[in-house]
Homo-oligomer: A and B are copies of this chain.
Amino acid sequence: MAGKELYVSAPGKVILHGEHAVVHGKVALAVGLNLRTFLRLKPSRDKNTMKINLPNIGAKLSWNISDLQTLVPSFQECEPVSPSPEQLDILKTFAGVSSGTKDTESLAILAFLYLYLSICGQLRRLPSLEIVVWSQLPTGAGLGSSAAYSVSLVAALLTASEKISYPAQDNIETARWTQNELTLVNGWAFQGEKVIHGNPSGVDNAVGTWGGALRYQAGQITPIERVPMLQILLTNTRVPRSTKTLVAGVKDKLLKYPNIMEPVLSSINAISEECQRVLQAAVDGLSKEHYSVLEELIDINQHHLNVIGVGHPSLDRLCQVTASHGLHSKLTGAGGGGCAITLLQPDIQPTVVDAAKQQLSDCGYQCWETSIGAPGVSLQSSSSLPEEVTRSLNTA
């Protein structure tokens, strides 16, 4: 691909059903969220410079290729492997990042350096590139923004270093890689996630890579075939929460009331199974009846999530607001605030959606009209990019 400019995008992730229950061995359904992370990669005009620009977090860095080249002996990997503590120490020293940092910019830079050196280290010389990554996803909201970052970086670097093909053809707006190539993308993206999160589940990068819907249970991730896209509102209550504390709270409730809580987890498991069944049954698109089942499952699960203690007044308010417009919502992810999804039927009146969005904004929430079941990492033609994206990538 030498010399080519390329654009890559990867979706975010939401949990459709099964959050928290998945910690206790139940099925969760994770789906691609069509709020995407976009990446532009082009050869640098300056042949001795590697530049990365992350406008969402105001980070703009560049390094001398010759300096980076000195690190290569520690990183040449043929296969995706876990970053070793020694490798991370080398990168931290190089980037001037203090040990144990949780700062978004530092982690993003460490992940980039790890992936760049590991993937491109076997080339005769490290390529000098200009990379811009801009995302529609908020960070730290449980929407898989770090995975979308890793996935798009990996896909672009593997393509640029010709380890995977350049799938685009003329006049095709978006193109995807083969299953084997995607497996490689996912493998490396998982390593990027490890740099950022330490011990990630692997679900977020799998969704970022494959998109659609994935079934996740007891550490096993299985893509679900032929899942339709669903229109949703994604709402961020902006109420901060600690996933760790919420997970611990659920465990405490299970210990306190095992006979009351275990059945609730079983019921959540059955909701995930039923949802998967409906999505897969809808080969010719979802009927009105399918939608009404999906709505019912959302309502039931939201009650269950309240029962296991991960609700929040901000989420109750959100559910009330959307219910007043005839819409059905549940929290997604950790709960205790955070984000929620609201299902939109295809024939919904735009005025209803606008009214709901306005009222949610009036509550101080951030609200996106988007979709789930979104495609995974894609190579995009520049003409296929929304104007907002082109502007953000080019003016960064």
Contact = CB atoms under 8 A, between A and B. Distances in A.
Interface in A234-275: 257, 259-261, 263-264, 266-267, 270-271, 273-274
A274 B260 contact: yes
What DSSP secondary structure best describes chain A's contact surface? helix
Nearest to A261: B267
Interface of A: 257, 259-261, 263-264, 266-267, 270-271, 273-274, 297, 299-300, 303-304, 306-307
Given A259-B270, A260-B267, 4 more contacts: A260-B300, A264-B264, A264-B267, A304-B307
A297 to B, nearest CB: 8
Contacts of A274: 257, 259-260
Chain copies in the assembly?
2
A25 to B, nearest CB: 15
Contact of A263 (B263, B273, B297, B306): B263
Contacts of A273: 259
A238 B336 CA distance: 34
Contacts of A299: 306-307
A307 B261 CA distance: 15
Given A303-B304, A304-B307, A307-B303, A263 B259 contact: no
A66 to B, nearest CB: 62
Contacts of A303: 303-304, 306-307
A18 to B, nearest CB: 13
Contact of A267 (B263, B270, B271, B297): B263
Contacts of A271: 260
Given A303-B303, A303-B307, A307-B304, A270 B260 contact: yes
A297 B253 CA distance: 12
Contacts of A306: 299, 303
Nearest to A303: B303
A39 to B, nearest CB: 41
A257 B296 CA distance: 10
A92 to B, nearest CB: 46
A266 B260 CA distance: 8
A318 to B, nearest CB: 14
Going nearest first, the 8 A-B pairs with the smallest beta carbon separation are A263-B263, A259-B270, A263-B267, A303-B303, A263-B266, A260-B270, A303-B307, A300-B307
Nearest to A270: B259
A270 to B, nearest CB: 4
Contacts of A259: 266-267, 270, 273-274
Nearest to A319: B316
Contacts of A300: 260, 307
Nearest to A253: B296
Nearest to A260: B270
A267 B300 CA distance: 14
A270 B266 CA distance: 14
Contacts of A304: 303, 307
A334 to B, nearest CB: 19
Nearest to A273: B259
